[in-house]
Structure 1
């Protein structure tokens, strides 16, 4: 299992057990998600993708105000981060546009 795949699994596991997490743990997962997304975007050649930047900003805000978020908001954000990382990983691994090939 690759490091990225392991992190995706960690995010999903955390989302399923969000009530057991301390705020600092959630914040750390959000911050690691930001770093992973930035790294994968750079590898995929998407460093200037404005939409992806908005995701990074949203995760940064969520990390900063994690104590104000409901368990549902934390769960949703963790799942969103995992989905974004999974999609970016597919772009990097397949080296394609993310669209099915004919």
Structure 2
């Protein structure tokens, strides 16, 4: 299993166990997601957007607000991050 696949699984597992996560752990997962997405975008040549609807901006806001997010919001944002990373992985695997 690749590191990317393992991280996707970690995000999904965390989304299913939000009650076991501290705000610090949530923020850390989201920060790792942001770094991963930025790196994978560079590799694919897909530019991020500096507009308000870029998923990276949404993840940054969620990371900063981790302490105030509901369990449903945490689940949704972690699953969104996993989905974006999975999609970028598919694009990268298709380039090889």
TM-score bracket, shorter-length normalisation: over 0.9
Q: Aligned residue for 2:81?
A: 81
In 2, Cα distance between the equivalents of 1:42 and 1:49? 9
Query: 1:72-100 CA deviation, whole Å, 9 max, x = no partner?
Result: 0000000010000000000011129xxxx
Task: Give the C-alpha shift of residue 49 in structure 1.
Answer: 3.6
Q: TM-score, normalised by structure 2?
A: 0.93
Aligned-residue CA RMSD (Å): 1.5
Number of equivalenced pairs = 94
Instruction: Report the Cα distance in structure 1 between the residues aligned to 2:48 and 2:29, rounded to whole angstroms.
Output: 22
In structure 2, the partner of 1:15 is: 15
- Deviation of 1:66 after TM superposition, in Å, equals 0.7
Deviation sequence 1:26-45 (CA, Å, 0-9, x none)? 00000000000001101101
Hey, what does 2:30 align to over in structure 1?
30
Post-superposition CA distance 1:47-80 (Å, at most 9, x none): x2427x7111110000001111100000000001
CA deviations over 1:6-27 (Å, ceiling 9, x no partner): 0000000000101000000000
Q: Greater Rg, structure 1 or structure 2?
A: 1
